[in-house]
Structure 1
Amino acid sequence: GVTEVVTPGVAVDDKLLDHKSNNYLASVFFGRKGQVGVSFLDISTGEFLVCEGSTAYAEKLIQSFNPSELIFSKDRRKEVEKLFGDKYYTFMLDEWVYSFDYTREKLLEHFEVQNLKGFGIEEMELGQVAAGATLHYLATTENKNLRHINAISRIQPDRYVWLDRFTVRNLELIHSNHDSGVPLIKILDQTVSSMGARLMKKWVVLPLKSIPAIESRLDMVGYFLDNAGLSGEVEQYIQQMGDLERLISKVPLGKINPREVVQLKKALGLINPIKELLLASDNAYLAKIAEGLNPCRMLKEEIGRQIVDDPPVNLAKGGVIADGFNAELDELRNVVQNSEGLLEEIQKTEVQRTGINSLKIGFNNVFGYYLEVTNKYKNQVPPEWARKQTLTNAERYITDELKKLEARILGAQEKILDLEEQLFEQLVLSLADYIQPIQHNANLIARIDCLLSFARVAKKNRYCRPKIDDSLVIDIKQGRHPVIEQHMGLDEEYVPNDVCLDNEEQQILMITGPNMAGKSALLRQTALICLMAQMGAFVPAESASIGLVDKVFTRVGASDNISSGESTFMVEMNETASIMNNISDRSLILLDEIGRGTSTYDGISIAWSIAEFLHSNGLARPKTLFATHYHELNELANKFSRIKNFNIATREVGHKVIFLRKLVPGGSEHSFGIHVAKMAGMPRSIVERAAHILTQLEQKSIDNGTEGTADGIKADKPRTQNISTEALQLSIFETVDPTAGKIKTALLDLNLNSMTPIDCMMKLNELKKLLEEREK
């Protein structure tokens, strides 16, 4: 019958798992009023997490935890498809499974408790339903022995910085948005164990909001930095430890092999040296971690007593149980080991008795041991020998004595394998009693590994210790982008910048400057420095004083959601609306080129009103970096006291523009778009023509008509018909080419305002085909 059903979320085979990532099975339960319960279970480690909150919160968590499989009730298929599309492998369960009474009973039964108060989830009804449905699903996939899942923890939103799904994506914390890109995790994760690598991913997407918790991490990182010798020793021990967390989780699942049991013994042997090193340190936090480490000496000694030092992976090969552990096993092994001598004795006796000097004893799987006689001597064979096989040059015989010895030898070998299997299974059963202390060890070792990684990265990249306080000020001196600075050319050096934000005088920095000058990098580096500080890591700056941040919001870069028929502008407005509805005094907001997905005047109006709202909403003063190419927004600084103008400095040398990448006070007057076009390789004639048109536009701004105004600031609409066309070459539409005429007509007939991005792409493809037909 079926012994096991393997799906992506319940895989435990090492070949199917990424050793640096958790393999989560996520369960989602939709409650009333937009509330959702979510659970995450990694069956390969025993980690079981539960949370509840808004749909947006659930979506953000699922994106951050990136489960291998998502389960939900059949009647919620539309909601799941709307939220997640086809990003995850999914499985639908019957509606009755997601009932509160049934799922709660599953949890109480599994954890053998009367209530769930001890886990802190007694009041989390939605979360309980999601978690209980997970246990039901495991039972249907034949995963019945789950002793390593011995606790369930709640993810507490108030403990961590709020990062919505857009921010996790835009800041490229775990995954890059480009094939050749590098996410932050690649810089920070210098862990030497799989356990550490998995924990690091969680630390990166769940920065802390508790100052004492952050300071304790920073203290430990600082200690490791100052004590390189101790750090190196601890690191070496962790490196040899293997994946303690997944090793012990294989025990109840019956998946652990003899060699892995010996690795477990080796790992436990490394706990004590680490414990002693940390206890001897003068860091109270490290000493506290050390006190929690349990070397499990009795278990380590028992494994050493029962299992050989270098056993085979496959138990069926034998030679797993150590000599001297079991008297019956030793006796059986003695029979097998002495059998060679007994066989030689029989051969010697028969040679002397029969005079057949070429007589030899052999063995095959068909009829066991035999005596082989060449044809030359077959007439000398005694009558009591029984012939079993005739060959071209010889004959094979058996005797009663040989058969009796064979029965002893083969019986002993079979019994040895059976007995070794029994003894190994008994040992594995006894290992199950140590699941909790070993899981606790794994958790502490992973934590130490992450802190060592932070220290190593800080030393290598010249990071400083940030100061964390409960003020409302972010003051970064000579800050750098942690990813970009690591990927500069040999002759390039990252230009650091100062950023200061507060709630009283400098709440919003309106940053102008040309495209490619470094506005986006500056925005991202500020957020990354704040988040790294609250992860408990040192940061890429000369100094950094961070008033605790509770939420980070980003709206950076353009991203059409074409598959859903949503334009760049629609995506941008969705993300911006999410920000405006969730701000607080401790929020950090990054807005990059708001409004560029629509017409210039619509864009300016929206960007202006957003800046106004952030400044004067009367509820909160979120610290904001606002990068824009709308120079009209510089006027805001004259009207609102906490908005300050800055720009990314440039220098014009002749007809060239040099990007200085330095943030300086004051607004920028030019965007240097034509220069960027030149850098991109645009044909020289187009660049020169654009410069000519720009000069004319700047000279002939209209005085008698405006497209729109903002608080009296004119947004003049240039009369493009006044632009001279003398220098312009004959237009493609003024030729006698009939194909060009068709394209012109098609373009003039288009109503762009009513078209989706998909419609535009299809029309563009149609026009392209017209040109291709002409070329034929």
Structure 2
Amino acid sequence: MGLTPMMIQYLEVKERNNDCILFFRLGDFYEMFFEDAETAARELELVLTGRECGLDKRAPMCGIPYHSASSYINRLVNKGYKVAICEQLEDPSKAKGIVKRDVIKIITPGTCSDTAFLEDTKNNYIMSLYIEDEKAAMSFADISTGEFKCTYTKYNISCVLDEISKFIPSEIIIENDIDIKIIDAIKERFQMSFTKRPNIFFSKKGIENLKNQFPNFDINKFNDVLIKGCNGLLNYIIDTQKTILTHIDTIEYYDTVDYLSIDINSRRNLELTETLSEKSKKGSLLWVIDKTSTAMGARMLRKWVEQPLIQKEKIVNRLESVEEIMSNLPLYDDLKEQLRDIYDIERLVGKISTKSVNAKELLSLKKSIEKLPKIKTILESFNSELLKNICSKLDCLDDIYILLNKSILDNPALSVKEGGIIKEGFSKEVDELRTAKAHGKEWIASLENEEREATGIKSLKVKYNRIFGYYIEITKSNLSSVPQDRYIRKQTLANCERYVTPELKEVEEKILGAQEKLIDIEYELFVQIRENIEKHIDRMKKSAKLISEIDCLSSLAIVALENNYCKPEINVIGELYIEEGRHPVVEKMITRNSFVANDTIMDNTDKQLLLITGPNMAGKSTYMRQVALINILAQIGSFVPAKKASIVICDKIFTRIGASDDLARGKSTFMVEMWEVSNILNNATNKSLIILDEVGRGTSTYDGLSIAWAVIEYLCNNNDLRCKTLFATHYHELTSLEGKIKGVKNYSIAVKKVEDDIIFLRKIIEGGADESYGIEVAKLAGIPNEVIDRAREILNNLENENIQVKNSTNHNELKGEYVKETAVSILDKQKKENNEIKQIGFEDIGKEKLIDDIASIDILNMTPMEGFNKLYDIIKRVKTL
């Protein structure tokens, strides 16, 4: 027994789309067969059945109604599957033999453009990654908005990961033979779908394809590697969408150094767009500053956070615009009112391009365009350069508004193929057919009255359904009055009979003929309107971008006003000054006015590296993060949470905060820490800002102290680096480096000790902390009192005993002493090799600290008991040296 013709057709289509789940249209259903059916039934919780197909056994089968397919497709795509939509290409009633079918669209995680299933405030990017000759070409596109961006760098796994972290694509297109290391690295850090297309990057017409798609394509900005990368992504988009997408009409090349560089670890640590623990927007920097009114503005503001500026002029222009909006609240209120009623023009334009827009969405476009003239009028009152520039470039799209206003009904039907979408007066033919349809209702009503009088049956009714058309319905009790010569029985029901008459069939033919023709003509007119609007996609995209920019600036203005932010000065001379700075997120999460503000002063000379000591939970990490976030906010063009600020433009921001492991890659907590520190030291420049928290805490004390010490030296003594650094540590020995290494300045978190308890004052003060208060912090955390008391007893013994490590037979103790001696010898060797830098050993640290403490004693202001206690403390410390 051979396969049935339908199954042969199915298998042929499936063969061409074997990496997709094939939705095969049969009547009012999409059917899936064989492995596709088994997968879909499992993932969508559908009933798995079977169908005769000409084989010995029935083919596994499941199906869904075509009108509700979107939700099922979205569920599969969200799970990483690709779905190929196979439609009937001809009218089944007119087809000879089996109906022609083929795939009209392939939906993948990165090419999904159904706005019902996309997050309004996020882009849905698809990416291509192409590597050749130690260069990596990366292209990013969002089909829903028409964006297409590209860049290339020297191939480096860290650089690729950092770039991916800016866009978080849903899908990545790669070659078959791409470096497996980069694939593994991406999979370990992100959840995204990979698609291998071996030949998609290579095309003899690659440059020609790019020129045809992008009028602004400039061959001088593209090398061969980048051309292949862009061509691969463009080919994949066209292959899946089965059409030329006119809204993807601009290619934007950017260099990775065009924006503030924030590596993947720093983005997570600083929680720019989502929190580290819950992956939610609430609690992130974006959550604080996003007061946008439109989906377009929300997406743009996210991009601003992901890619802060590094050009002073652009930053200052944004700041001046924000300041002017803040100082004109009535204008801001008017602007906000107009923005509130603007729909997502970018994605509406995308739907026009993909031919998936309906009449209601065109009505939304019209309502959005209606607001543009009012917004332009408001902008004319502003004087800042950026707002004036936006105003001059804003196209009000009057011609598109006029077309939509006169063509689309104010309350159109949802489906474009059922009529009820064209406004009266737009088409003479539509008006005539509507009149005929309206008279048809009158004819039916008149015929119903005539039949009631002729038969004497007062309950007689003329009704309609899609199966039988129009019919006369008479109840069982009135059947004796039915004229047998004119009434033709059509259907018998339990309590009534249905009839037709020659007169009714004649009226029906007129009415239904007009209705069917009206539907066809309305659809044709709708297509013409859509195509007419499609010619102006570039104009609509530009206006949408300008509206987004206005929305972002307005959002930053109201955030600054509500939260008492200040306008920062922007400098390029290397000085960072923040007076009463605050953490923008933490102050929103805690009780109002309870956040303790702190100053920060840094430069490239005496205060290049701030060494911050103090107990855990005192606020060191919060303080350091707030400095980084204030810098980022300023480079976005936002006011900052401070009383006053002068911000130096950074090229890169790095953070090494917190403890975590990566056991999946065989890396311990300490290994991860060292990997992150290595990345920072190898990539930072003298214009970077570095946040380092507890370097060296993941290993033994002497190892960790040695590493932390060496890192500080490297950051301060390397003349090609010397970047601004905040360095938090519990190694109090490092505080002696102030005055020994140029640029190191000691700061600590103020703490008040009350008997055995401590109070965190959250205030940064000059000078190092005298102790870590670890036991007190443990007590605050709820450690049992028995453990706390024993810890104090052990600490007291350790502080009062002179432990003779060298006389010990304990191998670990000897090993610890060996590490100590080795570390000291290394430092002594470095001192000899570099006469310009005076080094000190670990014993010297304690001695110099003791001398400083003795010198600072104010004996005249001490009571006898205080003097006795101080002397006892000095003797105890001398014994341990």
Match of 2:399 among 282, 295, 298: 298
User: What is the rounded CA distance, in whole Å, between the counterparts of 1:21 and 1:293 in structure 2?
Assistant: 24
State the partner residue of 2:841: 713
Q: Does 1:106 align with 2:209?
A: yes
User: What is the rounded CA distance, in whole Å, between the counterparts of 1:326 and 1:411 in structure 2?
Assistant: 18
CA-CA distance at 1:132 after TM superposition: 1.1
The alignment covers a number of residue pairs equal to 712
User: What is the rounded CA distance, in whole Å, between the counterparts of 2:181 and 2:203 in structure 1?
Assistant: 20
CA-CA distance at 1:94 after TM superposition: 3.2
- 2:258 maps to amino acid: R
Post-superposition CA distance 1:252-286 (Å, at most 9, x none): 10111110101101111101100011012233321
User: What is the rounded CA distance, in whole Å, between the counterparts of 2:466 and 2:724 in structure 1?
Assistant: 81
Between 359-368 and 89-98, report the one with greater CA deviation.
359-368
Q: Does 1:159 align with 2:258?
A: yes
3-state SS in 1 of match to 2:719? coil
Post-superposition CA distance 1:137-189 (Å, at most 9, x none): 12331341300000110122232112111211111111211128711111111
Match of 1:677 among 772, 778, 793: 778
Post-superposition CA distance 1:219-272 (Å, at most 9, x none): 010011111111111111111101111011100101111101011011111011
3-state SS in 2 of match to 1:646? strand
- 2:172 maps to amino acid: L
Contact 1:121 1:154 in 2 (8 A): no
3-state SS in 2 of match to 1:424? helix
Superposition map of 1:666-705 within 5 A: 666-702=767-803
State the partner residue of 1:176: 275
Contact 1:211 1:468 in 2 (8 A): yes
State the partner residue of 1:276: 377
State the partner residue of 1:328: 429
C-alpha change, 1:238 and 1:121, in structure 2 (3 Å) is farther
Contact 1:473 1:502 in 2 (8 A): yes
Post-superposition CA distance 1:19-48 (Å, at most 9, x none): 110000011111223x21101100000010
User: What is the rounded CA distance, in whole Å, between the counterparts of 2:180 and 2:379 in structure 1?
Assistant: 53
Contact 1:361 1:372 in 2 (8 A): yes
TM-score for the superposition, normalised by structure 1? 0.88
Post-superposition CA distance 1:614-652 (Å, at most 9, x none): 111121320111110001111211311211111111122
Post-superposition CA distance 1:356-379 (Å, at most 9, x none): 666543334444333456665747
State the partner residue of 1:547: 648
Superposition map of 1:197-236 within 5 A: 197-236=298-337
Contact 1:356 1:377 in 2 (8 A): no
Identical columns (%): 38
Contact 2:104 2:242 in 1 (8 A): no
C-alpha change, 1:487 and 1:362, in structure 2 (3 Å) is closer
User: What is the rounded CA distance, in whole Å, between the counterparts of 2:614 and 2:494 in structure 1?
Assistant: 95
Superposition map of 1:235-250 within 5 A: 235-250=336-351
CA-CA distance at 1:583 after TM superposition: 2.5
C-alpha change, 1:369 and 1:659, in structure 2 (3 Å) is closer
Contact 2:613 2:730 in 1 (8 A): yes
- 2:153 maps to amino acid: G
3-state SS in 2 of match to 1:661? strand
Q: Does 1:470 align with 2:572?
A: yes
User: What is the rounded CA distance, in whole Å, between the counterparts of 1:328 and 1:486 in structure 2?
Assistant: 61
User: What is the rounded CA distance, in whole Å, between the counterparts of 2:753 and 2:309 in structure 1?
Assistant: 44
User: What is the rounded CA distance, in whole Å, between the counterparts of 1:699 and 1:663 in structure 2?
Assistant: 31
Post-superposition CA distance 1:677-708 (Å, at most 9, x none): 11111111211111111122122245785533
User: What is the rounded CA distance, in whole Å, between the counterparts of 1:393 and 1:555 in structure 2?
Assistant: 81
C-alpha change, 1:516 and 1:348, in structure 2 (3 Å) is closer
State the partner residue of 1:774: none
CA-CA distance at 1:195 after TM superposition: 0.5
C-alpha change, 1:572 and 1:359, in structure 2 (3 Å) is closer
3-state SS in 2 of match to 1:316? coil
Between 578-587 and 39-48, report the one with greater CA deviation.
578-587
User: What is the rounded CA distance, in whole Å, between the counterparts of 1:578 and 1:152 in structure 2?
Assistant: 31
3-state SS in 1 of match to 2:232? helix
C-alpha change, 1:102 and 1:688, in structure 2 (3 Å) is farther
Contact 1:509 1:644 in 2 (8 A): yes
User: What is the rounded CA distance, in whole Å, between the counterparts of 1:358 and 1:546 in structure 2?
Assistant: 85
State the partner residue of 1:515: 616
Superposition map of 1:2-21 within 5 A: 2-21=103-122
Structure 2 gaps, min length 5:
1-101, 807-816, 828-838, 847-881
CA-CA distance at 1:392 after TM superposition: 6.7
CA-CA distance at 1:341 after TM superposition: 2.2
Contact 1:121 1:128 in 2 (8 A): no
Match of 2:515 among 413, 416, 422: 413
C-alpha change, 1:693 and 1:147, in structure 2 (3 Å) is same
CA-CA distance at 1:92 after TM superposition: 3.0
User: What is the rounded CA distance, in whole Å, between the counterparts of 2:310 and 2:691 in structure 1?
Assistant: 19
Contact 1:52 1:58 in 2 (8 A): no
- 1:451 maps to amino acid: L
3-state SS in 1 of match to 2:599? strand
State the partner residue of 1:481: 583
User: What is the rounded CA distance, in whole Å, between the counterparts of 2:755 and 2:226 in structure 1?
Assistant: 65
C-alpha change, 1:381 and 1:630, in structure 2 (3 Å) is same
3-state SS in 2 of match to 1:235? helix
State the partner residue of 1:42: 142
CA-CA distance at 1:332 after TM superposition: 1.1
State the partner residue of 1:52: 152
3-state SS in 1 of match to 2:629? helix
Between 40-49 and 275-284, report the one with greater CA deviation.
275-284
3-state SS in 1 of match to 2:177? helix
Contact 1:701 1:716 in 2 (8 A): no
C-alpha change, 1:684 and 1:352, in structure 2 (3 Å) is closer
- What is the aligned-residue RMSD (CA, Å)? 2.3
Superposition map of 1:318-397 within 5 A: 318-350=419-451, 359-372=460-473, 378=480, 381=483, 383-389=485-491, 396-397=498-499
3-state SS in 2 of match to 1:476? strand
Q: Does 1:575 align with 2:676?
A: yes
3-state SS in 2 of match to 1:240? coil
User: What is the rounded CA distance, in whole Å, between the counterparts of 1:31 and 1:4 in structure 2?
Assistant: 31
User: What is the rounded CA distance, in whole Å, between the counterparts of 1:373 and 1:463 in structure 2?
Assistant: 78
Q: Does 1:265 align with 2:366?
A: yes
C-alpha change, 1:701 and 1:499, in structure 2 (3 Å) is farther
CA-CA distance at 1:107 after TM superposition: 1.8
Contact 1:50 1:152 in 2 (8 A): yes
State the partner residue of 2:21: none
Contact 2:127 2:139 in 1 (8 A): yes
